[in-house]
Every structure is written in structure tokens, then in C-alpha cells.
Structure 1
Amino acid sequence: MSSISILLLFFFLTTITVVITTVSATEFKVGGAVGWRIPATNEPELYDVWASRRLFHVGDSLRFRYKNDSVAVVEKYGYYHCDSSNPISFFNDGDTVINLDDVGTMYFISGDADLCKQGVKMMVEVTSPVPVRLFPPAVSAPPENAYSDMAPSPSQVMSFGSSPETSPGPASSDSVSSVSVTSVVLVLLGLGFSVVNL
């Protein structure tokens, strides 16, 4: 194998890795349209509820937008006592992006203790990145249970006058997307093998 072939293969594999890494990272705007502000009386845990409805992974980031306030990344004690006197990091630029670099719980509070006590604080659970599947998962038979006899068979679901060959099945867009992804990956792998054989 020539050095040019090795170099092209390395470039090809690096490109795939960069594309996969770029696709998997997400930036979350904290609080959505509400932003980072004092919650209303009927929503005292606004930010913890907002965070609990999302999945955060290493590599994602949080964007805080605010006016006349700040964001402090603190330890657990600082979160529960609204104490930003010894923050891990502190921001007051009005448009702060914080990268989630490690697995575990991260704590964010307003740098103003009074605002923090009014609910301007949030804890986020950060998990490891989800591995990107290059191939669709294998399909297995569903487990047997007491309710399996209650589910209608495909022939019972078909409308009157239709045949198994013409009735629409439940797998439409999922099957197409899995086949498309698999086809793209196989084409890319084929290009890689072609480069190696140069």
C-alpha cells in the first residue's frame, strides 16, 4: 500500500469522525423563549423542570441569555444555599455559552443571591455521549407475554378487499431512513476501500 493511499484513508476516516462528532453535539437555550430570569409565582422550579425534560450529553452546551444578572457555575452547596462567593466560573456578559465537558451533575445559579432565592438556579445531569450507530439495530421478536394474544394480527388489521401484498405496513419512514443511512455508510466504506486499493 502506497503512502498516498494510507494518507487518503486517514483523511477519509478523520472526516467521518468529525462529521459524527459535529452532528451529535447540541446547544440548548436555557429556559427556551423565557431565557434566564425570575420565574413567575406559579413556576418556582422553572429551570429544574426545564432541565429535567431534556437529555444533556458531554459535548453539548448551554446558552444563557439574560439582562442585569449573571450566571455562576457552583458546587452543590452553592446551589442549595444560593452562595456564589466561591464559584467554579462566573459570567455576566448577557449571552453566555457553557460547554458540558464532564459526566455528572452541574449546578448553575444567578450571581445575585436574591435572584437565586427567587428561583434563578438550575441543576443539570450530564451523561456520556450517545454512541452513533452506523448500522440499524438488529430486529428481534417481541417477548411473549399474557397480552400477546390480544393484539390483532396484520391480516386482521387489513381493510376489507385488500391483500397482504397491497396493504400498507407500519414500517414506512423508519425502514427507508435505516436503509438510506446504511446505503450511505456502505458507499463511504466502499470509497475508503477503493482508496486503499489505489
Structure 2
Amino acid sequence: MASPLWNILCTCLIIFMAAKNTCVVEAGRQFKVGDHLGWHEPVPSNDVFYIQWAERNRFQVGDSLLFEYQNDSVLSVEKTDYLNCNASNPITAFDNGKSIMNLDRPGPFYFISGTQDHCTNGQKLLVEVMSQHPIPKSSPSPSISLPPQVSSQMSPSPSPYASDDSFGDSTSASASVVSGPVPMVSLVTFAIVLMLKP
């Protein structure tokens, strides 16, 4: 028979696993602006580099941007200053070579280089931040779908070796998988019953 301490440890572990499975909270992600190239003046033939970089990523409230650069700066600005590469009225300005900007609200964020020519040549960034979707308080109960009703007039099943392509990728099984917290709750209940058995 297992010791009481072992039973308590197993129970705590199972409860922790059940809780982890049922409520997942994702922390904000950090995006390195420009990926491995960092924050720099784009080459003349690629002045849309940062536009394309922003389009490849999805930003949510709680995420952050990491700007890494040398002999340059990054300024957070208003939309008109972004469009005109105006560095004279920044919201925030950094020139330390490694700057982190927190995306703390939904909507657009505008960034430019503090060097006029760099910004004019495409070293500016617009990111659109999406709001986080609230986590529902309770998940709907999983449902099990039943296979379709079979008519009273039975017809033979097609051969699995038939050469007709109509049975290729278009066939589907009518089975469903139950997922979510229900299997974990069943597992926890089963484990507790086993531990309480004399």
C-alpha cells in the first residue's frame, strides 16, 4: 500500500495537470524587428522591407517589439509624423542600440528612424495591434456526433480497391474525438478513486 505522502503528491500532480489542461494563458511574445537583420536603413531596392515584415506577423496587446541597431535610433511617433518622416516631435525616442517597445493597447503603432534619410528610404514601421480575445468563462460541453442514419434500402459498399477516383480524398469518416477538460476530469476522478482504495 502506498504511503499517505505519496497519495497526496500524486493527487497534487494530477490536479495541477488538470488545471494546466483546462486554462491556458499565453504570455505576450517579443518580436525582433527585422528578424536577424534588425533595425537598419533598407537597401534602395527594398524600401518596403519593414512593411513586409509587419505584414508577416500578428501582434496582440501584451506583445513587445525589440529593436536592435547600431549608430541609429528608433522613435515612436504619431501617424502624421510617420507619414512625413518628422522626427522633431516623438512620443518616445531611443538611441541605446537595443530598445523594447511594449504594445499595450490595440490599434496602430508608428515607428521611424531618427535619421531623416533613413526614414525616407523606408526605415519606418507601422504595426497594427489586435486586442486579445477574452477567454470564455466556461467551455461548451463537447458533443458526440452520431453516424448518419442508414436507409432501409441497403446497397453494397464500394470495394476499397476500386479504381474510381470518387472515393479518393473526398471520403470522410463520421467519427468524432472528445477533447478538452472532460477526459482530464475523468482521469483525475479515476486516480483519486484508486488512491482512496484500501
Task: With the length of structure 1 as denominator, give the TM-score of the two structures.
Answer: 0.61
Q: Deviations over 1:143-164 (max 9, x none)?
A: xxxxxxxxxxxx87x9539xxx
Aligned counterpart in structure 2 of residue 37 of structure 1, from 36, 40, 50: 40
Task: Give 1:102's aligned residue.
Answer: 105
Q: Give, in whole Å, the separation in 2 of the partners of 1:86 and 1:137.
A: 54
Q: Give, in whole Å, the separation in 2 of the partners of 1:61 and 1:51.
A: 13
* 2:40 maps to amino acid: R
Aligned counterpart in structure 2 of residue 83 of structure 1, from 62, 83, 86: 86
Task: Give 2:69's aligned residue.
Answer: 66
Matches within 5 A, 1:9-24: 20-21=24-25, 23-24=26-27
Q: In angstroms, what is the RMSD of aligned CA positions?
A: 3.8
Change (3 A) 1:183 1:63: farther
Q: Which one has a bigger Cα radius of gyration?
A: 2
Task: With the length of structure 2 as denominator, give the TM-score of the two structures.
Answer: 0.61
Q: Give, in whole Å, the separation in 1 of the partners of 2:58 and 2:68.
A: 20
* 1:129 maps to amino acid: Q
Q: Does structure 1 retain, via aligned residues, the 8 Å contact 2:44–2:121?
A: no
Q: How far apart are 1:25 and its partner, in Å?
A: 1.3
Q: Does structure 2 retain, via aligned residues, the 8 Å contact 1:66–1:94?
A: yes
Q: Give, in whole Å, the separation in 1 of the partners of 2:69 and 2:141.
A: 43
Change (3 A) 1:59 1:41: same
Unaligned runs of 5+ in 1: 1-11, 142-154, 162-168, 191-198
Q: Deviations over 1:116-156 (max 9, x none)?
A: 111110101011013446758978x9xxxxxxxxxxxxx87
- Deviating above 2 A after TM superposition, structure 1's stretches of 4 or more consecutive aligned residues are 130-139, 158-161, 181-187
